[in-house]
Structure 1
Amino acid sequence: MQAPQLDEGAPGQAPPPPPNRPRNKRPAARIAYLVKSLVLWAVAMVFLLPFAWMLSSSLKRNIDVFSIPVTWIPDPVAWTNYVEVWVGGTPTMARFFANSLFVSGFGVVGDLTTSAMAGYAFARLTFFGRDRVFLLYLATAIVPTQLLLIPRFMFFQQLGLYDTLWALLLPGIFTVFGTFLVRQAFLSTPAELGEAARIDGAGEWRVFWSVYLPLIRPTLAALGIISFVGSWNDYETPLIMLSTATNYTVPLGLTRFVDADGGLSAGYAMAGSVSAVIPIMIIFLIFQRNFVAALAHTGLK
């Protein structure tokens, strides 16, 4: 008589061998991944070529900047370009940096403050005509910035602020984009948190400052980066609002680097351009995690 077969899960019996599972990365998938990586690296190198040329040209003499064929390694290395840009002549790059840091720094603080308060009001407060007012405010974004330069010029001239850094700072502390971005961030937060805080006796300012504002720190960091870069790279507004060289910001100040013949000195301009990129890189490296988190959160929403 044949003995009965034991079940697979019977005690005392060795477990069956695991089934052969296909590997996660087959050779074809690995090859495709390698090819994709190489293509992306090649594209990245193409985009980095202008920056590499700018860095190389900042260490060349003027006669060597536009030489053909292009020499990527300067010979001789002209360190004097940076010396002349930063300490030679009047005004220097240090003065332009100070002006840009003043305008961009205080502009970021003002933009974050007004955008946070306006965004919270449009997202979490209830008042008559809230949505209509927001749509009207949002509609002002369709007006090109170039159309506002002449009215702003006349307005600040009447106020006596023409040819001052305040003519650059004041318009930058109110932005439609910042208000819209922060409002969307506030709408993505749970409304129950604010209701619970109000039940516990918290005022509206306490709800805004202690409950909702910490939840949107990545969005505020992303807005700060965007606002700083936009203000730092702005060329048109200083060109219209400023006439004194000592008040120039970095983009406008780069046009002041001329050679002995009165023409634009390519070596000095490239040295100034390399110096101008450094603050933007530092700001992005410090806040890149918050910037990426804000973009990812927006995409998930």
Structure 2
Amino acid sequence: MKLKLTVYAVLLVCCVPFVFPTWWMATTSLKPVNEIFAFPPALWPRDATLDAYRQVFELQPFAQQYVNSLYIAIVVTAGTLVVSSLAGYAFARVPFRGSGVVFVIVLAGLLVPNEVTIIPLYRMFDGLGLVNTHWPLILIPILGAPSVLATFIMRQFFITLPRELEEAGRVDGLGRFGLFWQVSLPLAKPAIGAVAIFTFLHSWNLFLEPIVFLSSKEKFTIPQALTQYVDAYGGALWNVQLAAATMSALPVLIVFVLAQRQFVEGLAQAGLKG
């Protein structure tokens, strides 16, 4: 019993560096401006107010920007799951000549920084008339590095599945797609959970592409919108920024809480076999 209490105490102390910034963000968003930089700092606002949350929506079309980020993240997550699950299954279960070389070439895409490709991508989307639309924020993650990592995770998971399951499916008359859809994919929930979480987080926090491709405030996403809460002199409105940041963190926390077990299991399975 004492050992268990000691372990819990150590874990509680270790949690402080991770939990405290979130606590500080949420409580500071409730403070008046004169309390934010008060010394000694207070862990809870003396005169709590929701004025900063009101200003979040008054200074910008934050509700629309919030919806923009939410629907883009959902579409990107769904698209990445479709592409990565099909590609991962093909690399793991469909034998074809040069599959290992092709897979290495695909993985090499992870080594190319976004900053290197952003100018060619901008010129391509500008030629297609898609600048200042949400299409680049949807297509680039689905067909870019996040999808490559997702494909790697899905491939590693499918490799661990016993081949006897597919052989049983073939006896029942299933074709290749039937084996994927009815046998392999239902067993891949841990990997799907892991891919869904990191894809959603990547899309939700995407910053470089929005500032390059978007110019209308009504089309901004959350990370881009957070930089716009400044006063007439360009100084940050700290309580308003923290209020907006607090609201932007809620979907991330909800997604992680709902799928954290699948996330851990999926990453564990991805490292079992090469």
**Paired residue secondary structure (1:119):** helix
Q: 1:90 to 1:277 in 2, by over 3 A?
A: closer
Give 1:58's aligned residue: 29
Which structure ranks higher in relative contact order (CA pairs < 8 Å, sequence separation ≥ 6)? 2
**Paired residue secondary structure (2:70):** helix
Give the alignment partner of residue 59 of structure 2, picking from 82, 86, 89: 89
Higher Cα Rg: structure 1 or 2?
Answer: 1
Per the TM alignment, residue 75 of structure 1 is displaced from its structure 2 partner at its CA by 2.4
Give 2:130's aligned residue: 161
Q: 1:248 to 1:270 in 2, by over 3 A?
A: same
Give the alignment partner of residue 72 of structure 2, picking from 103, 115, 126: 103
Greater helix fraction, Structure 1 or Structure 2: 2
Give 1:288's aligned residue: 260
Is residue 178 of structure 1 aligned with residue 147 of structure 2?
Answer: no
Give 1:257's aligned residue: 229
Determine the C-alpha separation between the residues in 2 that align with 1:298 and 1:180: 8
Per the TM alignment, residue 260 of structure 1 is displaced from its structure 2 partner at its CA by 5.9
Q: Summarize deviations over 1:85-122 as a string: whole Å, max 9, x none.
A: 13x2332x211111101210000000000000001111
Determine the C-alpha separation between the residues in 2 that align with 1:67 and 1:161: 47
Determine the C-alpha separation between the residues in 2 that align with 1:83 and 1:276: 15
Give the alignment partner of residue 205 of structure 1, picking from 156, 177, 192: 177
Determine the C-alpha separation between the residues in 1 that align with 2:103 and 2:233: 54
Structure 2 stretches lacking a partner, 5+ long: none
Per the TM alignment, residue 39 of structure 1 is displaced from its structure 2 partner at its CA by 2.6
**Paired residue secondary structure (1:263):** coil
Determine the C-alpha separation between the residues in 1 that align with 2:39 and 2:241: 20
Determine the C-alpha separation between the residues in 2 that align with 1:257 and 1:142: 34
State TM-score, norm by structure 1. Answer: 0.84
Give 2:195's aligned residue: 223
Per the TM alignment, residue 200 of structure 1 is displaced from its structure 2 partner at its CA by 2.7
Give 2:39's aligned residue: 68
Percent of aligned pairs with the same amino acid: 38
Decide whether the 8 Å contact of 2:89 with 2:155 is kept in 1. Answer: yes
Give 1:268's aligned residue: 240
Q: Report the count of equivalent residues.
A: 270
Q: Summarize deviations over 1:176-202 as a string: whole Å, max 9, x none.
A: 101111000110001122122223321
Decide whether the 8 Å contact of 2:87 with 2:151 is kept in 1. Answer: yes
**RMSD between aligned alpha carbons?**
1.8
Q: Which amino acid aligns with 1:187?
A: I
Deviates more, 1:177-186 or 1:290-299: 290-299
Is residue 124 of structure 1 aligned with residue 93 of structure 2?
Answer: yes
Decide whether the 8 Å contact of 2:156 with 2:272 is kept in 1. Answer: no
Per the TM alignment, residue 279 of structure 1 is displaced from its structure 2 partner at its CA by 0.4
State TM-score, norm by structure 2. Answer: 0.92
Per the TM alignment, residue 165 of structure 1 is displaced from its structure 2 partner at its CA by 0.7
Structure 1 stretches lacking a partner, 5+ long: 1-24
Determine the C-alpha separation between the residues in 1 that align with 2:119 and 2:40: 44
Is residue 39 of structure 1 aligned with residue 10 of structure 2?
Answer: yes
Q: Which amino acid aligns with 2:165?
A: L
Give 2:206's aligned residue: 234
